[in-house]
């Protein structure tokens, strides 16, 4: 299967920016997604980026895609304690039959 890698932990102070990174191996990825999982809950779609885009901004969230390096990042501006959660990147491509490949997840802790 495809490999999607993330660092496991990130800790930031409230009000600072958080940057969560993800690398993937499938060069034919069409859509790349960021999901958030709070304790005891399912995964919530935060945002996505299409593979022909470099950047997408959605309120406090900025997604950057470097297709050459197969690197995706999620920047959360003005991080709040409610942003503490696990963040997963995911990718899908026609070649994988619409199957989603998820990263290992990054646990974000926001320190008040």
Q: Give whichever of 9 and 50 is closer to other proteins, judged by the CB atom.
A: 50
88 near other proteins (CB under 8 A): yes
Spatial distance between the Cα atoms of 51 and 48, rounded to a whole number of angstroms = 10
**3-state class of 68 per DSSP?**
coil
Q: Which of 4, 3, 8 is nearest to 105 (CA)?
A: 8
In the range 47-86, which residues lie near other proteins by CB under 8 A?
48, 50
Q: DSSP E strands: which ranges in the chain?
A: 4-6, 9-13, 18-24, 31-37, 43-50, 55-58, 61-66, 71-76, 85-92, 101-102, 106-111
Q: Name the minimum Å distance from CB 33 to other proteins.
A: 5
9 near other proteins (CB under 8 A): no
35 near other proteins (CB under 8 A): yes
Q: How many residues interact with other proteins (rule CB under 8 A)?
A: 27
Q: Interface with other proteins by CB under 8 A: which residues?
A: 1, 30-31, 33, 35, 40-45, 48, 50, 88, 90, 92-94, 97-105
């Amino acid at each position: 299967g495809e490999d999607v890698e993330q660092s496991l932990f990130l800790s930031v102070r409230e009000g600072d920016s958080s940057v969560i990174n993800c690398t993937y191996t499938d060069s034919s990825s069409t859509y790349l997604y960021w999901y958030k999982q709070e304790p005891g809950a399912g995964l919530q779609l935060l945002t996505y980026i299409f593979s022909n885009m470099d950047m997408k901004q959605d309120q406090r969230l900025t997604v950057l895609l470097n297709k050459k390096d197969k690197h995706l990042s999620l920047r959360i501006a003005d991080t709040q304690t409610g942003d503490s959660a696990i963040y997963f990147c995911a990718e899908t491509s026609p070649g994988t039959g619409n199957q989603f490949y998820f990263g290992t997840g990054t646990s974000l802790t926001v320190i008040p």
